[in-house]
């Protein structure tokens, strides 16, 4: 199996149901995200979760689906990221809440972005002929619950990432922005990826020949096409009914960045407080020691100190005698 050939056999031990948590994680956060690039990044998280489900299933059909989806994901997600980059370059805005109606002045970018959105699961696109193999593998094993979960993940990411990105960027509320369309070289790059997404979806044999196992799978059956179209139309209907609730907000959705936006600064403040408290206590202790040493020096050498007083000749003679006696004893001991 391809996973064992890559030295990743331990991944097969991942339960497919547990890998769905990763797909759900990306889906939930995508529904709340308003940043263009972060939204698409959560779509990548969802896609990788679906791939892990296929690895967890572990059959040849599933691993073919994983390999095909990985290749397809590179194409259509790169296309969407290019479209987001074109919007960012043209408007300087990165939030879905700050753009809208850009299809009026950026029609080429809008059309190519729609191709990327449809390539997630629509017939005649690369997502349709690759992602469906993973669901087929679950169906072959009679994992009905898993099959429904994969179908729901496919519909969910189409709504949370694809439709939210396309609608709130190029259609929907008009932001009043009228930037020029993407430069020619950017449009040609997007057109190349869009052509691959559609070409390998309509003529999928070259893609299937690259998969690790011989493929015994016909994606364009009547039942499969009708089911997928019903799924996409139903997902689109749900989106348009709930589009106000799914509208982006001018806010930051915190994910892992909660650690360095909130937790680490607060920890830094707490540690700095402890540091300053410890440093203050250390300086206070050193100051007390130095004050005591200075007081001792003043007691001995100050104006009224022991060594600064006027001594009588008799006392000095006694001290000299004691010192000489000590020297004699030292010399005798040696």
List the one residue out of 43, 59, 39 whose CA is nearest residue 212. Answer: 59
Residue 95 φ then ψ, to 5°: -105, 140
pLDDT one-digit tens code per residue, 57-95: 888 998 999 999 999 999 999 999 999 999 999 998 988
309 pLDDT above the threshold of 50: yes
Q: Does the pLDDT at position 10 exceed 60?
A: no
pLDDT at 127 over 80: yes
Lowest mean pLDDT among 44-53, 103-112, 117-126, 251-260: 251-260
pLDDT for the residue numbered 143: 84
DSSP 8-state code for residue 181:
P
φ and ψ at residue 35, rounded to 5 degrees: -75, 130
Mean pLDDT over residues 284-301, rounded? 84
> What pLDDT score was predicted for residue 66?
92
Q: What is the DSSP string of 234-248?
A: HHHHHHHHSTTTT--
Q: What is the pTM of this model?
A: 0.74
Q: Label residues 13-24 b or e (16+ Cβ within 10 Å = b).
A: eeebeebbebbb
Q: What residues pair up with 95 in beta bridges, in sequence order?
A: 35
Which pLDDT value is given to residue 17? 64
Percent of the chain with pLDDT over 70: 91
pLDDT tens track for 241-267: 988 888 887 777 777 777 777 788 888
Crossing angle, helix 126-140 and helix 60-91, to 10 degrees? 150
Q: What is the pLDDT of residues 141-199, one digit of tens each?
A: 888 888 888 888 888 899 989 999 999 999 988 888 899 999 999 999 999 999 999 99
């Amino acid at each position: 199996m391809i996973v064992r050939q890559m030295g990743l056999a331990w991944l097969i031990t991942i339960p497919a149901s547990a890998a769905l948590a990763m797909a759900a994680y990306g889906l939930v956060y995508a529904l709340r995200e308003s940043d263009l690039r972060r939204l698409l990044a959560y779509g990548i998280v969802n896609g990788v979760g679906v791939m892990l489900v296929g690895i967890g299933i572990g059959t040849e059909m599933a691993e073919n689906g994983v390999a095909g989806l990985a290749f397809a994901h590179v194409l259509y997600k790169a296309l969407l990221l290019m479209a987001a980059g074109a919007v960012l370059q043209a408007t300087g805005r990165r939030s879905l809440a700050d753009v809208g109606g850009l299809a009026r002045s950026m029609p080429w970018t809008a059309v190519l972005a729609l191709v990327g959105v449809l390539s997630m699961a629509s017939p005649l696109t690369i997502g349709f002929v690759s992602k469906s193999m993973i669901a087929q593998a679950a169906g072959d094993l009679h994992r009905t619950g898993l099959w429904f979960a994969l179908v729901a993940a496919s519909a969910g990411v189409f709504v949370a990432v694809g439709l939210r990105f396309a609608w709130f960027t190029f259609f929907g509320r008009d932001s009043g922005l009228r930037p020029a369309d993407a430069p020619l070289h950017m449009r040609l790059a997007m057109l190349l990826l869009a052509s691959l997404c559609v070409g390998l979806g309509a003529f999928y044999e070259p893609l299937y020949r690259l998969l690790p196992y011989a493929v015994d799978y016909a994606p364009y059956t009547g039942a499969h096409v009708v089911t997928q179209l019903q799924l996409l139309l139903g997902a689109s209907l749900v989106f348009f009914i709930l589009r106000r609730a799914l509208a982006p907000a001018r806010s930051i959705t915190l994910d892992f960045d909660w650690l360095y936006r909130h937790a680490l600064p607060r920890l830094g403040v707490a540690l700095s407080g402890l540091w300053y408290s410890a440093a203050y206590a250390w300086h206070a202790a050193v100051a007390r020691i130095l004050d005591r040493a200075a007081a001792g020096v003043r007691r001995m050498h100050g104006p009224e100190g022991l060594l600064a007083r006027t001594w009588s000749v008799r006392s000095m003679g006694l001290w000299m005698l004691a010192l000489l006696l000590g020297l004699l004893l030292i010399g005798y001991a040696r």
